[in-house]
Structure 1
Amino acid sequence: MVFSSVGFLFFFLPLVLAFYFVVPFKYKNAVLLLFSLIFYAWGEPRYILLMILSILANYGYGIRIEAAGRRQGRRRLVLTSAIVVNLGLLGFYKYANFFVDIVNAALHTSFHPDPVPLPVGISFYTFHALSYLIDVYRRTEAAQRNLFRLSLYITFFPQLVAGPIIRYHDVAAQLRKRVFASVQFAEGIQRFIMGLAKKILLANPLGAVADELFTSPAGDLSTASAWIGIVAYTCQIYFDFSGYSDMAIGLAKMFGFEFKENFNYPYISGSISEFWRRWHISLGSWFRDYVYIPLGGSRTATWKVYRNLLIVWALTGFWHGASWTFMAWGAYYGVLIALEKAGLEKLLRRIYPLNHIAVLLLVMVGWVFFRADDFGYATRYLGAMFDIRGRDLLDAHALGLLSLNWIYFAAAVLAAVPIYPRLVRLRLSPSLVRLRTAILFVLHFLMFGEVILYLINSTYNPFLYFRF
């Protein structure tokens, strides 16, 4: 089940809200847990048992880590065992086929086991569990003795299958007690509708353009078509994933939870490092706090700083998928950020405002590897973008795509810069504030109506990050 489906909008969500607000507070977590399990089982019934077993194992690991007390060796042993089990499950389901292909290529063997299907959201809920265990190990949080609360933390349906990655210490207190306010609920509805509109009205039509071009032979693309394809995908992945995060944050607000932001207008960044402080913030901060800093972070020898960066970015690429293109994408950003540490960032700042254009170009090159099905196609697609020898610069196909979709590209550009939040934060007189509130209400109402019309008339509705 996806948030942008008619079944979720008009059946699941109203039902869970009705039950949630009818029952006393002591039963609210139980209601959310039950509906979260139903939500997951709706799309992945065969893997619901796997997730339940994972929760039970991590519940036990947390208690055992805390019970070890001051015996640091014992605490470390239990945590190591928990990490091995969690990453072992993730590795088996997400990377088994990839490693079999590597073995076949290296040893010239022909092992062909049945493909292992990928449980939806396993990368996210594994990182949720590890966050909890590491927080307990570091004594920043006590082990959760209430199994229902820990289960809800891991399975809470707004963030279950595509994030954002919620850190345990950020919601531990909210699992015990929450304050419900009509203002918070209204903000949640607005945020959900905004995310839904990003996904349906921008990501979907631009995604259709990107799919058309990225499924065409790269050698048949004109230079303009190749650039239209990567610009469309650059917009699609941002509005798809940030839209999902907006919907998750909005849904959480409706139930009294406050999640941290996951995106902060990354395409206005002036450096690659800044881009990753604004893009998928929850993933970047997870790797920073649980991998980069324990390795020594930036407070170590210079060569170790670069080593740490390359390790983190290799893991970031691998986390996204079992493919050489994701590995290349991770290595690409590791090298770029290492170069920025070595002085490239200062150079970019000196060429303001051209640094913003340079960053966008570098990001789009990275997205080619992220979108391409294999490394060979990625290199050929880059050739179509930059190698104009014997290739049309502009053809009828490119002109046709622009004429049909220019309004989506224009709207995407406007929505990718922080115009809306600045308008909302403008200090106005009371009468103008009321006018702005009325306008925003009408705007959200119209966006929701347009979304419903789209859903009724279209079957194209993928979520990119469900594959992770």
Structure 2
Amino acid sequence: MVFSSEVFLFGFLPAFLAIYYLTPMRWRNIVILIGSYGFYGWWRLDFLGLLILTTLWTYAFGRLMMGDPARRKLWITIGVVGCLSVLGVFKYLNFFIDSFAALFSTTPEELGVHWRLLLPIGVSFYVFHCISYLVDMYRGDVEEDVGLVNFAAFIVLFPQLVAGPILRFKDLAHQFKHRTHSLDLFLGGLMLFFVGLAKKVLLADAVAPLADLAFQTPDPSFALAWGGAVAYMMQLYFDFSGYSDMAVGLGMMIGFRLIRNFATPYHSHSITEFWNRWHISLSTWLRDYLYIPLGGNRVGRGRTYVNLFMVMALGGLWHGAAWTFVLWGFWHGGWLVLERATGLAKANGAGAVLRTLFLVLIGWVLFRAANVEEALHIYAGMFGLNGFGVPAVTALSMTGESLAALALCVGVAALEPYLGQIAREQLIPQPGSTLVATNTLVPTLLVTGLAALAIMKLAEQSFSPFLYFQF
């Protein structure tokens, strides 16, 4: 079940909201827990079992740390290792077996491995939630036991369960005990949800065919390689930021204030700034739970560079068990080190933005490619090694709709700071304001119209999951 599906929009969400608001306040976290388990179990019940076991494991070791301070180090070690084992087995075991077989120029099947583990949806996100809880408990940032139901509801909270934002229990614990519901907050969340739905369906899905065409063509020409790379750059951003908007909007509809996950990243002046604007919840998680514990920038210049590079390499591997993601992490880690060493991290001006966009685009090719060889084909095309024109057969596959959508995506991304300001000031009400006021009526009607278009588009297109579901 995905947010941009008819079964969610017209089935699960209305039913959940009706039950939630008809339930007395003190039982609403139980409604969240049961509803979220139903949402996740829609895919596979066995993966729901894994999620529940991971939740119980984490909560148990959190309680042990609280009840036995003298052995906190032992309990957090066992607890974190257990969580990482879930991630290691289900996400990386296939990758390690494939890599080991490749070292001997053979295949896993020839080594006697005839099975493949399926990747549970959202495992990268909920394992990070569990680890942050254990670390915060160890550090003393979580001072009280809010109960198993509230903790389990935090882990499985369906708006952010399968693709973030990555939440920290210490930031949300009080909201599970006390949160405010209001019509303004609900309607503001609904508007933000509609904005995210329009991003996903009207923008990201519309440019996807052009990106797919470029990456599926063996030797793409200069025009096709650049067009496909930029199309994927736009597709990934509007797909993931659209999901994040929908997640934050859904949270507001049930009284939660979730963190913002994007801040116009394609307007960054450096890779350093890019990572302060892109997938903000992941960047801060890696900083607080990996970079700082490694010593951060407090251990000398050389060690700081090593820490930066290592954290980004692991961040790349977190996104996917493939060498393309590892190389993508190396690419960003290398530029973070270079920017810190040369002062490019503080660059300004249009030239700095263009340079950053180019570097990010080069990285996205690795991120999208099925393997390194496919990425090299795209790079060859981008540098003119496969010719410059578009073959007639390929041109026939390039629809006018996808080209128009690409132009629209670029325009929206360019104007996003101004559009975002309008959304924050007029579509999402502040405490004490009235949503349907004179200055908000037109934007509200516009967003509602976009939502209607998105829903009509959904009715005619095939199933299109969010890209970050695979991570």
| TM-score class normalised by the smaller sequence | over 0.9
1:222 and 2:221 aligned? yes
| Inter-partner Cα distance in structure 2 for 1:283 and 1:230 | 24
Please give the alpha-carbon distance, in whole angstroms, between the structure 1 residues aligned to 2:395 and 2:277.
31
1: CA distance between counterparts of 2:313 and 2:304? 14
Cα pair 2:121 2:470 within 8 Å, conserved: yes
Distance 1:100 1:342 in 2: 37
| 1:62-106, Cα deviation, whole Å (9 max, x unpaired) | 00111222x2xx211111111111001110000111111122123
- Tell me the distance in 2 between the aligned counterparts of 1:346 and 1:448: 39
Aligned match for 2:458, one of 445, 450, 455:
455
Using structure 1 for the length normalisation, give the TM-score. 0.94
Q: What is the alpha-carbon distance in structure 2 between the residues aligned to residue 130 and residue 458 of structure 1?
A: 38
How far the C-alpha of 1:108 sits from its partner, in A, is 5.2
- Post-superposition shift, 1:335? 0.2
Alpha-carbon distance in structure 2 between the residues aligned to 1:254 and 1:423: 20
1:367 maps to amino acid: W
Partner of 2:260: 261
Who is 1:158 aligned against? 159
- Structure 2 equivalent of residue 184 of structure 1: 185
Structure 1 residues 347 and 29, CA gap change in structure 2 (3 angstroms): closer
Deviation readout 1:33-81 (Å, 9 max, x if unpaired): 0000000000122211111111111111000111222x2xx21111111
Asked if structure 1 preserves the Cα contact closer than 8 Å seen for 2:380 and 2:386, the reply is no
**RMSD of aligned alpha carbons:** 1.9
Residue type of the alignment partner of 1:299: R
Q: Match for residue 421 of structure 1?
A: 420
Per the normalisation by structure 2, the TM-score is 0.93
Q: Which residue of 2 aligns with 1:63?
A: 63
Output the CA distance in 1 between the equivalents of 2:343 and 2:78: 41
Counterpart of 2:19?
A: 19
Name the residue aligned to 2:430. none
Quick check: 98-107 or 373-382, which moved more? Answer: 98-107
Q: What letter is aligned with 1:27?
A: W
Cα-to-partner distance string for 1:350-406 (whole Å, 9 max, x where unaligned): xx21111111111000000000000111112111101x2461345554597374434
Q: Tell me the residue number matched to 2:387.
A: 391
| Contact 2:240–2:467 (8 Å) recurs in 1 | yes
Hey, what does 1:86 align to over in structure 2? 83
Contact 1:204 1:460 (C-alpha < 8 Å) held by counterparts: no
Q: Which residue of 2 aligns with 1:30?
A: 30
Q: Cα distance 1:381–1:108, how it changes in 2: closer, same or farther (>3 A)?
A: closer
Q: Equivalents in 1 of 2:453, 2:54: separation in Å?
A: 40
Consecutive unaligned residues in structure 1, runs of 5 or more: none
Q: For residues 95-244 of structure 1, what are the structure 2 equivalents within 5 Å?
A: 95-107=92-104, 110-111=110-111, 112-142=113-143, 144-217=145-218, 219=219, 221-244=220-243
Aligned to 2:279: 280
Counterparts of 2:260 and 2:239, CA distance in 1: 15
Rounded to whole Å, the distance in 1 between the matches of 2:180 and 2:463 is 38
| Identity percentage of aligned residues | 42
Structure 2: which 5+ residue stretches go unaligned? 427-432
| Whole-Å separation in 1 of the counterparts to 2:145 and 2:323 | 39
Looking at structure 2, the residues matched to 347 and 288 of structure 1 have their Cα atoms a distance apart, in angstroms, of 19
Distance 1:389 1:371, change over 3 A: closer
Q: Is 1:8 aligned to residue 11 of structure 2?
A: no
Kindly tell me the number of residue pairs found equivalent between the two proteins: 457
C-alpha distance in 1 between matches for 2:346 and 2:288: 28
Shift of the 366–216 alpha-carbon distance from structure 1 to 2, 3 Å rule, reads: same
Secondary structure at the counterpart of residue 157 of structure 1: coil
CA distance in 1, matches of 2:386, 2:270: 34
Pick closer, same or farther for the CA change 1:36–1:119 going to 2, 3 Å.
same
Contact 1:62 / 1:143 at 8 angstroms: preserved in 2? no
Using a 3 Å threshold, how does the CA distance of structure 1 residues 7 and 182 change in structure 2: closer, same or farther?
same
CA distance in 2, matches of 1:390, 1:327: 26
Q: Determine if contact 2:365/2:375 at 8 Å carries over to the other structure.
A: yes
Q: Is the 8 A contact 2:221 2:386 kept in 1?
A: no
Counterparts of 1:367-386 in structure 2, within 5 Å, are: 367-386=364-383
In structure 1, the partner of 2:50 is 50
Shifted more, 402-411 versus 157-166: the winner is: 402-411
Q: Residues 292 and 312 of structure 1 are in contact (CA less than 8 Å); yes or no, is this contact kept in structure 2? A: yes
Native 8 Å contact 1:33 1:148 kept in 2: yes
Aligned to 1:459, the other structure's residue is in SS state: coil
1:278 and 1:347 mapped to 2: Cα distance?
15
- The structure-2 alpha-carbon separation of the partners of 1:418 and 1:400, relative to structure 1 and needing over 3 Å to count, comes to farther
CA distance in 2, matches of 1:424, 1:7: 27
What SS does structure 1 have at the residue aligned with 2:344?
Answer: helix
1:284-326 CA-to-partner distances (Å, cap 9, x unmatched) read 0000000001111112211100110111011101101110000
Contact 1:224 1:395 in 2 (8 A): no
